[in-house]
Amino acid sequence: MAAEKLRHYALGVLVHVVVIAIWWAFVELGHIEPYIMPSPLATLKTLGGENYRWIANATVTAGEIFGGYLLAVIVGVTLATAFSWSRPVESAVMPLLVTLNMIPKVALGPLFIVWFSYGIFPNAVIAFSISFFPILLTTARGLREVEPDLLDLVRSLRGSRWQLFTKIQLPGALPYLFSGMKVGAILAVAGAIVGEFLGSSRGLGYLMLQVQVTLDTAAMFMAVVLITLIGVFLYGLVLLLERLIVVRDARVQ
Amino acid sequence: MTMNEPFIHLTKVRKVYRKKDAEFVALSDVTFDVAAGEFVSLVGPSGCGKTTLLKILAGLLPHDGGEVRLGSAAHSFDPSRDIGMVFQQPLLLKWRRVMENVLLPAEILGLPLRESRERARELLSMVGLAEVSDKYPYELSGGMQQRAAIARALIHDPKLILMDEPFGALDALTREKMNLELRNIWQTSGKTIVFVTHGISEAVFLGTRVVVLTSGPARMADDIPIALPDKRTLEIKTSREFGDYNRRVYRLLGME
Ligand SMILES: Nc1ncnc2c1ncn2[C@@H]1O[C@H](COP(=O)(O)OP(=O)(O)O)[C@@H](O)[C@H]1O
Ligand SMILES: [Mg+2]
């Protein structure tokens, strides 16, 4: 069992190494110009370049992603809870949210900049607005999905609405929440970067635009790698949390 | 059975489901009594209103006519504490261990946790699940899950157990076994049980009485006291009397 798992992970790592090797071979053997595609080593070397201010920029981007994402989780779960407690609230708010969700969030970027100026905040807001909807939808669905007989069981004991919520609905909705959170995590990363492209003075997305001008492709690659790593870290965190909280059988959906 | 007032008293109970313009009579004229400690099987074709009747007994659904009375002078009845329910699906909470699942009604009723745990332990060993009380539902077979559901229905020591086709989703062999166990549980616990099934032989085998409902709309076809030996073993199923009771119910349901 453990050996099988180890083999599984080893295979995953191996595939990554192979892809990087192919990348390297392609660049070296194909004599590709560095400004078209840098080698893995050239990409890695940019980490030494002090002008890039990697740590500062990565921190900004990570802050936008995590901030927007956390807000999306909080607002999504809160709204889903409100919906499950009050049908009228759901009927009133849900259609509006569906409409709002149809707005391409990217199109709001220039507006956010007018309202909130450049900076971390508008980008976090874009990350939030793009990742919040799937979290809301899945959580609301999870809270709604109570076996009618289970409802009867609680009612036969004259259990309160609050007991139904805390003992049945909320724990039952956790697997749904996590599936929404996984989708949301990926979207939040995209949202923050798009925000930085549209207008900002810091962050990895901003850096990419800066180095693009000088055709410093290696730095652009490195920025993409770091953005990906931030995303992987967030996603891993969500997976870990899910593993800790949700019982195995309920997990796979 | 006794001269006392019945524990459950149903007279001309009627239930009509209303949808916008249509009415559907689900129950009409259901009249029977259940004495405290009886095991009444409720048998009838699917869709005849058995679940509806059970929900009315549980106070989950209002009735539209007739009288429904639970409890008597000798046997008080508290609607929030004196009903235990078992459904066709075990409906265990996936995220709780077996022990915590059994404790759910005790938590909802706010019963003292330590005593409840003790009682849950006893109930789990009674239904043969002492070994798996720390497991999650997905680690249990269907039969084991249903046993846990029965323990859960008993945790708050209710006077009345309502069972809605509890063994309907089990394989035939497990079902036979559960029948024997349920009969034992009933005999040792002294609970009043109303047991809904569409299995005729199951109804006869388990019940001290079999109430037969027919559909369209559900009416009582008969109310048959079952005079089989108290100790119900599998041999009884091959006895002549058992066959006669079965045949009688079949005939009432128009299947002969
Ligand atoms: N909430 C409801 N609204 C309308 N009709 C219902 C409802 N619940 C049950 N019925 C109808 O009442 C009849 C009896 O249902 P039920 O009590 O579930 O039967 P059984 O448990 O014997 O199979 C069925 O025809 C069913 O379609
Ligand atoms: Mg039914």
Residue A251: predicted pLDDT: 59
Do the domain assignments include residue A81?
yes
Domain contains A241: yes
Ligand 2 centroid to Cα of residue B121, in Å, is 31
Question: Chain A 96-155, CB below 8 Å of chain B: which residues?
Answer: 147, 149-150, 152-155
Stretch (H or E) spanning B248: helix B240-252
**pLDDT at B3 (0 to 100):** 53
Q: Is B160 helix (H, G, I), strand (E, B) or coil?
A: strand
**Residue A196 included in any domain:** yes
Instruction: Report the alpha-carbon distance of residue B1 to residue A32 in Å, rounded.
Output: 97
In this complex, the residue of B83, B91, B94 whose CB is nearest that of residue A156 is: B83
Q: Whose CA is nearest to atom 6 of ligand 1?
A: B17
Residue A25 lies in a domain: no
User: Does residue B256 form part of some domain?
Assistant: no
Look up the CATH number of the domain holding residue A95.
1.10.3720.10
pLDDT on residue B197: 94
Identify the domain containing residue A115 by its residue range: 53-252
In a domain? residue B146: yes
pLDDT of B131 reads: 95
Q: Of all atoms in ligand 1, which is nearest to the CA of residue B49?
A: 17
Contact B95 A174 (CB under 8 A): yes
Any idea which ligand is nearest the CA of B52?
1
For chain B, residues with pLDDT lower than 50 are 1-2
Ligand that lies nearest to the alpha carbon of residue B53, given by its number in the listed order:
1
Task: Assess if residue B131 is contained within a domain.
Answer: yes
**Is the CB of B48 inside a 6 Å radius of any atom of ligand 1?**
yes
Q: Specify if B134 maps to a domain.
A: yes
pLDDT computed for residue B256 by the predictor: 62
DSSP assignments along A20-42, one per residue: HHHHHHHHHHTT--TTT---HHH
Cβ-count burial of A63 within 10 angstroms (0-12 exposed, 13-18 middle, 19+ buried)? middle
Ramachandran area for residue B27 (φ above 0: left; ψ -120 to 50: alpha; else beta) = beta
**pLDDT in 10s for each residue of chain A, 253 residues:** 688 889 999 999 999 999 999 999 999 999 999 899 999 999 999 999 888 999 999 999 999 999 999 999 999 999 999 999 999 999 999 999 989 889 888 888 888 888 888 888 999 999 999 999 999 999 999 999 999 999 999 999 999 999 999 999 999 999 999 999 999 999 999 999 999 998 888 999 999 999 999 999 999 999 999 999 999 999 999 999 999 999 876 554 4
Tell me which residue range forms the domain holding B139: 92-158
**Atom 12 of ligand 1, nearest CA residue:** B26
| Whether B26 contacts B17, CB under 8 Å | yes
Which residues of chain A are within 8 Å of residue B94 when distances are taken between CB atoms?
Answer: 172, 247, 249-250
B95 to chain A, any CB pair closer than 8 A? The answer is yes
Q: Residue B4: what pLDDT?
A: 67
Task: Please give, rounded to a whole number of angstroms, the shortest distance from the CA of A251 to a CA of chain B.
Answer: 10
With tokens 């004495």, the residue in question is B35
Q: Kindly report whether the global pTM for this prediction surpasses the value 0.95.
A: no
CA distances from B158 to B37, B123, B128, B227 (A): 12, 13, 20, 26
Is B209 near ligand 1, meaning CB less than 6 Å away?
A: no
Q: A30 lies in a domain?
A: no
Decide: B99 in ligand 1 pocket, CB within 6 A.
Answer: no
Q: Using an 8 Å Cβ cutoff, are A38 and A27 in contact? A: yes
In a domain, A201, yes or no: yes
Distances (CA, A) of A162 to A82, A166, B83, B85, B107: 13, 6, 21, 21, 13
Ligand 1 atom nearest to B198, measured from its CA: 22
- Name the percent of chain A in helix, strand, coil, to the closest 5: 85, 0, 15
Burial class (CB in 10 A: 0-12, 13-18, 19+), A11: exposed
Q: Counting atoms of ligand 1 from 1, which one is nearest the CA of B55?
A: 17
Pairing label, strands B209-214, B219-225:
antiparallel
- Could you tell me if residue A106 is inside a domain? yes
Structural domain count of chain B:
1
Residue A106 in tokens = 């990217």
Here the tokens at position B238 are 């091959």
Q: How many domains does chain A have?
A: 1
